[in-house]
Amino acid sequence: MRNLVLIATAAVALLLVQSCSKKEISSPASTNASLQTNVMETSALAAARTSPAAGNYTVTKFVDDSIPSTRIFKGYVFTFRSTGRLVAKVDGSTYVGTWEMKDNNTKLELDIEGTDALKEIDRAWDVVTITNTKISLNHDGADDILVFTKQQ
């Protein structure tokens, strides 16, 4: 009987030692990190657009021939309509033009005149990025930059 108790105790001890051994287990942190990366990539893709989101925008950056000139658009509100109509309002005046995506959505052509400032942007711009809240464009490489930010 004593041998039976001794064997049973040895078997339990062996099971306890075996259950405490180290094994390679994949880290949930790395899985969480890759899931988080996938969510961020999906969010970025969801926010990317092939044309401006309809709404009101202001110019938050304008560089002309490498000279920062954002101030010339102070007070302007631009409305991009889904129909391709572009409306600019400043100091109680309204100017109407058009916008059109061209060359497989790599260019945004703005056709609007009426003020010296509007003449500066009246051209085809290379699309850098278009999201639900921002339109980033350039012309002549990095010499001319135009960024519209959607009003909240």
Task: Per-residue pLDDT tens, the chain, 152 aa: give them.
Answer: 555 444 555 555 555 555 554 555 444 554 444 445 444 444 444 457 788 999 999 999 999 999 999 999 999 999 999 999 999 999 999 999 999 999 999 999 999 999 999 999 999 999 999 999 999 999 988 799 999 999 98
Q: Does any domain span residue 87?
A: yes
Model pLDDT, residue 44: 46
Q: Does any domain span residue 32?
A: no
CATH, residue 145: 2.40.128.270
Model pLDDT, residue 137: 97
Q: Does any domain span residue 140?
A: yes
- To the nearest 10°, report the CA torsion of 47, 109, 96, 66: 90
Q: Does any domain span residue 46?
A: no
Q: Does any domain span residue 61?
A: yes
Question: Which is nearest to 152 in space by CA: 77, 96, 61?
Answer: 77
**What letter would DSSP give residue 51?**
S
Model pLDDT, residue 152: 87
Residue range of the domain that includes 84: 55-150
Kind and range of the H or E run holding 62: strand 55-64
Residues 6+ apart with CB under 8 A from 137: 108, 125, 126, 127, 128, 145, 146, 147
Residue with tokens 């060359």: 103
Q: Where are the alpha helices (DSSP H) in the chain?
A: 2-19, 28-47, 116-121
Q: Does any domain span residue 126?
A: yes
Could you give the number of structural domains in the chain? Answer: 1
Contact call for residues 66 and 147 (beta carbons, < 8 A) = no
Q: Does any domain span residue 43?
A: no
Contact call for residues 143 and 63 (beta carbons, < 8 A) = yes
78 DSSP β-pair partners:
57, 88
